[in-house]
Structure 1
Amino acid sequence: MARTGPQKIPGASQSYFYGTGQYSGSDMEVNCGVIHTTEGRSVPTYNGGAMAPTVTGIPDIAARKIRWHQHFDVDESARALANKLGGVETNRANAFQIELVGTCDDRYAQTWGTARAGVDYLHWPTAPDWALAELAWLVRWLHDYHAVPLTCVKDWLAYGKDPRRPGITPASYGASPARMTQAQWQTFTGWCGHQHVPENDHGDPGSLNMARVIDLARGTSAPPPPAAPAPTVPQTAEETDMTIGKIDESNPIDVDLADNVWTTVAFTDAVIHSGPRRLVGPTYVQLTFAPGTQAFISGRFIVTNPDGTGASGYGDLGEFDALRLPQFLHNHDVPAGKTLRFQVKARTDNGTTSKLTHRVVTGDYLVPSGQ
């Protein structure tokens, strides 16, 4: 399939372009778009491109602009969606993917540690109109030059409490009523969020006002009325005296995985987080296997005592094709006196070992001031 139309976004930085490297994607013709939020305040490393979207948008709040960083050509598959074995294509389904730096988590609608929404970062469900207009510019450009429809799904559930999914918090995470079936995804055009894509669990970008973005892109929208304050969970005194810490560890040492056996893997060491630790958004693990590996990969996060004993798990995640860069995420805080670790299992049809060649773990967490 040929790439048609302009492939570089006007004014976008190409400093983090991965389309000519080892993670270059497949040719396609975009007809839909997926919105993500990074749940951080800077451009992620994306493991050198292995987990990158098509573009990342960084709000320049002082200038009231979004600075775009392009990672792949417009008509080239990106890598920010999970793609499970035996299901539908996700990244390669003609989807243009946008990561918006900031958060959709309603716990941080006003403050995030010591940072302030609208001043130091954006809470995208309550983003100011200038930010929605900047996003609308890119949505309109993709319509004009690549015929991506100026339409979007109706329901964008909150990454928090939402009456459309009572009793589940965050409402947009997992198997929500907003998530498409595989059949719906295969025929979808227009704009949706990560929360809508099948084979994925993420709930971003929460209750982003995408209908407003579409109106701005069409040029038919009047100035908005003053927004009502967003519902928030009040922060404790402890939370307001916090800063954001980041884990970003990798390990290139090969590990031979016996067939169908759970193995604890190390990054800097075997411990990802030591409790007590409050996470800010998900912690991600991505695995890379040797070329030609024919195996189905499962992963699971476990909580243990500091010496590794007393393991309890959160449930198995998978299975994924070993050569599709399996990704796993964890959203739960780590209790005091416990550590968080990660295990992987490779299942083959003939009982052979599988070679894990690289793994990376990333995520943010709260750090008490002064530590």
Structure 2
Amino acid sequence: MAKTGPQRYPGASTTYWYQSAWGGDSMESNVIVWHTTEGTSLPSYSGGAQAPNFTAVPDFKNKRLLWYQHFDFDTSARALVNRPGGVETNTLNVCQVELVGTCDPSTHKKWGSTPHLYTSELPDWVIRDLAAFVKWAHDQHGVPLTSAVTFKAYPGSYGSNGVRMTAAKWNSFTGHCGHQHVPENDHGDPGLFPMGAILDHAKGASTPTTPHQQGEDSDMPTTLGLYSTTDRPLVPGKWTTLTVEKTDIVTGANAYTASVMLTVDGAPAGGTLQGRFYHQRTDGSRWDSGIVERPTTAGSSFVDFPHAGSIAATEKLRFEVAYFPATSGDEKSVTITTSRVRGLYWK
């Protein structure tokens, strides 16, 4: 099927583009399914195996969303369950959007003062930027500015929740819904999502919106490129902060996207390399991103750890890695032989 209309959302970064590796079916999308990542940073999506079409990451300092595009608008993504013998989900004219944040009130409480989005209490600037995307999808692709479903608060939205569509309703549905509404799925995100307010904003009931160009009003991004061939041993089970030319990958930035790529020698197949970014604060405390896991392979292991987020002016972005052998009791160290960091950051 031919795809019509512009396939890239204006201003969206394609740094984490998965269509080349994971393909997808061409279609004419007339449904948008909304998700929450249940995290505070851009997920790795298992290297794209579970990725949506778009991810919206909050930039709290500048009060805007940073958009990342992983597939064309009219190419099927991979964030929904699709069981054999039932309806189609990912491939049924569906564009999928993940919002970095949570719909779970217990998670919201646990995160406390850590900057994050909670869908039951989205700030106006998030509604504004989501509405800009909704309006673009309507104007360029004809996605209706409608949502004939009820968004329930989590955890009541999980599983058989009373709002999940039947196969027949799903097959004929157009407009906007959430993961909680899709048949063959049990997730309850995005919870009590303010779909009505977003649609009203997109229709012009509020101040008109336009897509925000990433980097607009905050200068052009600075390219991040670090490289090291210094051997670095990894002791099993111990986290090691990595130095790639320098320890502090980014300082004084407000938004960034970065990938650490490592070549590791001496690790038998079946082991695990874990990596995470963290924000080091001046008082000695730190904020940790989610852990990304990569398997070790026979010979050299080539692994990557992507991340995106925002930091305070006084924080320093760092990365640490840990090695866990396949065999219990194996205490032999492995060696990082090559380290690379690639990305962009905005001052």
Distance 1:76 1:219 in 2: 28
CA, structure 1 residues 113+129, in 2 after alignment: closer, same or farther (shift >3 Å)? closer
Matched residue, 1:15: 15
Shift, 1:18, TM fit: 1.3
Matched residue, 1:216: 201
TM-score, scaled to structure 1: 0.57
Matched residue, 2:101: 102
Matched residue, 2:221: none
Q: Which amino acid aligns with 1:22?
A: A
CA, structure 1 residues 149+252, in 2 after alignment: closer, same or farther (shift >3 Å)? farther
**Contact map agreement 1:114 1:242 (CA 8 A) in 2:** no
Distance 1:124 1:242 in 2: 25
Distance 2:54 2:199 in 1: 18
C-alpha deviations, 1:136-177, integer Å up to 9, x for none? 000000000000000013311111xxxxxxxxxx10000110
Q: Which amino acid aligns with 2:118?
A: H
Shift, 1:193, TM fit: 0.3
Shift, 1:248, TM fit: 3.0
Of residues 118, 125, 130, the one that matches 2:120 is 125
Q: Match of 2:14, SS?
A: coil
CA, structure 1 residues 181+43, in 2 after alignment: closer, same or farther (shift >3 Å)? same
C-alpha deviations, 1:14-56, integer Å up to 9, x for none? 111112x220111000001000000001110011111100000
Matched residue, 1:146: 141
**Contact map agreement 1:193 1:204 (CA 8 A) in 2:** yes
Matched residue, 1:311: none
Q: Match of 1:27, SS?
A: coil
Matched residue, 1:5: 5
Correspondence list, 1:36-47, <5 A:
36-47=35-46
Distance 2:150 2:291 in 1: 33
**Contact map agreement 2:147 2:175 (CA 8 A) in 1:** yes
Q: Where in structure 2 are there 5+ consecutive unaligned residues?
A: 209-284, 299-322, 328-347
CA, structure 1 residues 131+113, in 2 after alignment: closer, same or farther (shift >3 Å)? closer
**Contact map agreement 2:41 2:289 (CA 8 A) in 1:** no
Matched residue, 2:162: 177
Give the number of equivalent residue pairs.
228
Please give the root-mean-square deviation of Cα atoms over the aligned residues, in Å.
Answer: 2.6
**Contact map agreement 1:113 1:243 (CA 8 A) in 2:** no
Distance 1:142 1:217 in 2: 10
TM-score, scaled to structure 2: 0.61
Matched residue, 1:195: 180
C-alpha deviations, 1:62-89, integer Å up to 9, x for none? 1111000000001100001011111111
Shift, 1:252, TM fit: 6.8
Q: Where in structure 1 are there 5+ consecutive unaligned residues?
A: 160-169, 224-240, 255-266, 272-371
Distance 1:199 1:270 in 2: 35
Distance 1:206 1:12 in 2: 25
Matched residue, 1:60: 59
Of residues 130, 138, 151, the one that matches 1:135 is 130
- Percent identical pairs in the alignment equals 50
